[in-house]
Amino acid sequence: MLDGDNPAELQCTVVIEWLNSCGQATKRRLFKRASVTIGRNEFKEIVLRVHDGKIPHSFTVSDVQLFNRFAKDGKCTVKFLPENVQVLMSDCPPDRLSTFLKTLSIKHLAWKTSKCLGDRAKLLACKNWRFEAISPVQKKDVEKANAFQNKVNAPMAPAGHPERRANTTARAQQVKRPRNLCDFSPIKDKRPEKRPFFTLPTDYQLSREQSSVLDAVLSGKNVFFTGSAGTGKSFLLKRIVGSLPPKSTYATASTGVAASYIGGTTLHNFAGIGSGLGSLEQCLELAQRPMVLPNWTSCQHLIIDEISMVDAQLFDKLETIARSIKRSPEPFGGIQLILCGDFLQLPPVSKGKDNPKYCFQARCWRKCIHLCMELTEVRRQTDQAFISLLQSLRMGRVTEVVTGQLLKSASHSIERDGIIATRLCTHKDDVELTNENKLKQLQGPSRMFEAVDSDPHWLKLIDTICPVGRLLQLKVGAQVRTFTCLRLFYLKITYNKHVSFACSGLPRVQFLCGVTKVIKPERWVFKANGGTYVSRQQLPLKLAWAISIHKSQGMTLDCVEISLARVFESGQAYVALSRARSFEGMRVLDFNPCVVQANQDVLQFYRKLKKENVHMQVPSSNFVSIKNLC
């Protein structure tokens, strides 16, 4: 069971170090799992308490340094200057750590604006030691913290002016900031003056149904959650990744593109079993190589996105490997599974097999999954008529009205400002051909940009996970999509831009909104096996006249042309059509109702889940227990 919703409490590994005047630790205590809580003492001062269920250690947060450079990896250190003690926290769920630090920062600065008691007054007050949990951050706390920061940053009043003293006191009270390390208060002088330093800690909001999935995951259950395209499954997965302890959590997906959305790696790379087509013994041997074994031994929470593309045989193999390596008879060796995807989208890749089986048809599925949940609210599209059209296509139902609408869309004029719609193709060679031809048709010389990779040994992995290629050829007028690194791995994609070149030789991209920007190389960092970090530095661009439907799974597109004549998989047409944000932004070429197919086994599986739901009469209609199913 992991910690709940309290933003002033964290469950993590803690080391407390008592330092001497040279900064060396004279005493050290390790708490493998402790709760760190922000509270107040009997004098209403802010206190940080570390408790592992035995004797608590409490430190007053008066004069502190905070080292939070690695907060996104779930690590940070708080140094208490008067006591010369530091508390090192690690393996914190990154999102929770960020909220915790923000709460600490606001409460601490708000407290600094109040009247503090001196040591003598405290002695005279003769109060008993007390620790009470801190109240949630209120608007007034934020206002006080902002007022304090404004005072610190205000220009110095002239000597002798009454405000001079106030400035000086606030500056002196300001949290000490070590060089080259940012603390939890915003960096001084870099912000426009009028902007508040803090706002109420509002995490990006999950819908009610998304929250109930998160709760189920945090309660430790093995969860499979599904939902049609655009219901926010990957959005929620990112939040789940940020809410689990990083050391024991592995975020994976069946494809490299999907993995990069959630800041993870491919399931194959995590498992280290090559293609997974070898015998169980061979796969087990591969999984026990020194570079791979730590993945398995440290993994306690395994996340898999786009589960519809994971083959049943592979899932069964992984389950056996997990039990064997973990030496545990529990399903999946006791690893918590968080699986996500829509089985009515792309099926597992056949790799020579005639009829690959879906993951839910795996022998171990039933014993592995405790809960199946469904997200029902579509977030990608807002037009209800378009959402209904997509829903019937998902179920493989193509009425005459639907056919008529899709045929009509062929005449949609979606090009804007000379930008051609991105074409979604069924086959990879069509994509390459389209992009190459379009580039060739442009006048003028081309420029080649080569990536700088950290380690050629990991080239294959980098090529699979990194959204940008090693070589990028561009010409003036090329249509590209841009990828922006957000945080350590997450990326944001923007489409349909035109290229020219700046004097520096770097491409200048004109965005759809009219803004023009010179694009500089970015660095993508990935975790390879054995905990090594590998990276690629390259321009965050890719040619975007065409993308394959397989690569587009998980994307949202504003301006898209879809060619469905060579559809070869069930769910493929639905994946392509459901990428469009709006019906008006989509043009379907050569539509034929027979390309829309929903797999009968999947439909039956979903029907069973729904039926069970009715039997159980669970109030929330999307909450289903897997018990007695399949």
Ligand X SMILES: Nc1ncnc2c1ncn2[C@@H]1O[C@H](COP(=O)(O)OP(=O)(O)OP(=O)(O)O)[C@@H](O)[C@H]1O
Which residues make up each annotated binding site? Answer: 227-234
Residue 210: which of Mg ion, ligand X, none does it interact with, CB under 5 to 8 A by kind?
ligand X
Q: 214, 329 in Cβ contact below 8 A? A: no
Distance between CA 334 and CA 299 in Å, rounded? Answer: 10
Q: 392, 401 in Cβ contact below 8 A? A: no
Q: 473, 442 in Cβ contact below 8 A? A: no
Distance between CA 22 and CA 20 in Å, rounded? Answer: 5
Nearer to ligand X, 370 or 380 (CB): 380
Q: 596, 396 in Cβ contact below 8 A? A: yes
Of 547, 224, 600, 252, give the one whose Cα is nearest residue 375: 224
- Does 210 bind ligand X (CB under 6 A)? Our answer is yes
Longest CA–CA separation in the chain, Å = 87
Distance between CA 137 and CA 61 in Å, rounded? Answer: 17
- Does 300 bind ligand X (CB under 6 A)? Our answer is no
Stretch binding ligand X (CB under 6 A), from 22-30, 158-166, 203-211, 296-304: 203-211
Q: Which of 230, 263, 331, 571: binder of ligand X (CB under 6 A)? A: 230
- Does 234 bind Mg ion (CB under 5 A)? Our answer is yes
Nearer to ligand X, 348 or 554 (CB): 554
Residue 74: which of ligand X, Mg ion, none does it interact with, CB under 5 to 8 A by kind?
none
Stretch binding ligand X (CB under 6 A), from 230-238, 329-337, 529-537, 559-567: 230-238
Stretch binding Mg ion (CB under 5 A), from 233-241, 267-275, 449-457, 622-630: 233-241
Q: What torsion, rounded to 10 degrees, do the Cα atoms 101, 106, 108, 110 define?
A: 180
Q: Distance between alpha carbon 416 and the CA centroid of its chain, in Å?
A: 32
Nearer to ligand X, 197 or 261 (CB): 261
The angle subtended at Cα 268 by Cα 263 and Cα 271, nearest 5°, is: 95
Residue 173: which of ligand X, Mg ion, none does it interact with, CB under 5 to 8 A by kind?
none
Nearer to ligand X, 558 or 561 (CB): 558
Closest approach of Mg ion to the CB of residue 226, in Å? 11
Nearer to Mg ion, 234 or 403 (CB): 234
| Binding mask of the shown chain, residues 522 to 561, with x at each position contacting ligand X by CB under 6 A | --------------------------------x-x-----
Half-sphere exposure of 286 (CA within 13 A, CB side): 18
Q: 435, 543 in Cβ contact below 8 A? A: yes
- Does 94 bind Mg ion (CB under 5 A)? Our answer is no
Considering only residues 554 to 583 of the shown chain, the ones binding ligand X according to CB under 6 A are: 554, 556
Closest approach of ligand X to the CB of residue 158, in Å? 49
- For 437, other C-beta atoms within 10 Å of its C-beta total 11
Closest approach of ligand X to the CB of residue 487, in Å? 15
Closest approach of ligand X to the CB of residue 411, in Å? 26
Considering only residues 75 to 94 of the shown chain, the ones binding ligand X according to CB under 6 A are: none
- Does 229 bind ligand X (CB under 6 A)? Our answer is yes
Number of H helices, E strands in the chain: 19, 29
Residue 427: which of ligand X, Mg ion, none does it interact with, CB under 5 to 8 A by kind?
none
Nearer to ligand X, 370 or 579 (CB): 579
Q: Which of 99, 231, 266, 336: binder of ligand X (CB under 6 A)? A: 231
Residue 212: which of ligand X, Mg ion, none does it interact with, CB under 5 to 8 A by kind?
none
Nearer to ligand X, 94 or 232 (CB): 232
* Type of residue at 189: D
Instruction: Count the site residues for ligand X by CB under 6 A.
Output: 17
**Distance between first and last Cα of the chain:** 27
- Does 554 bind Mg ion (CB under 5 A)? Our answer is yes
Residue 238: which of Mg ion, ligand X, none does it interact with, CB under 5 to 8 A by kind?
none
Q: In b/e form, how buried is each residue of 203-229, taking b as 16+ CB within 10 angstroms?
A: eeeebebbebbbebbbeeebbbbbbbb
Residue whose pair of structure tokens reads 């993508």 in the numeric block: 524
Stretch binding ligand X (CB under 6 A), from 77-85, 106-114, 135-143, 205-213: 205-213
Q: 126, 43 in Cβ contact below 8 A? A: no
Of 122, 170, 111, 116, give the one whose Cα is nearest residue 144: 111
Distance between CA 563 and CA 545 in Å, rounded? Answer: 13
Can you say which residues are annotated as belonging to the binding site for ATP? 227-234
Distance between CA 378 and CA 389 in Å, rounded? Answer: 13
Closest approach of ligand X to the CB of residue 193, in Å? 31
Residue 556: which of Mg ion, ligand X, none does it interact with, CB under 5 to 8 A by kind?
ligand X
Nearer to ligand X, 17 or 374 (CB): 374
Q: Which of 7, 93, 94, 227: binder of ligand X (CB under 6 A)? A: 227
Distances, alpha carbon 497 to alpha carbons 420, 421, 513, in Å: 9, 11, 10
Nearer to ligand X, 96 or 380 (CB): 380
| Binding mask of the shown chain, residues 20 to 49, with x at each position contacting Mg ion by CB under 5 A | ------------------------------
Q: 145, 110 in Cβ contact below 8 A? A: yes
Residue 206: which of ligand X, Mg ion, none does it interact with, CB under 5 to 8 A by kind?
ligand X
- Does 146 bind ligand X (CB under 6 A)? Our answer is no
Stretch binding Mg ion (CB under 5 A), from 228-236, 404-412, 518-526, 529-537: 228-236
Q: In b/e form, how buried is each residue of 124-138, taking b as 16+ CB within 10 angstroms?
A: eeeeeeeeeebeebe
Residues at the site binding Mg ion, with contacts judged by CB under 5 A: 233-234, 554
Residues at the site binding ligand X, with contacts judged by CB under 6 A: 205-207, 210, 227, 229-235, 342, 379-380, 554, 556
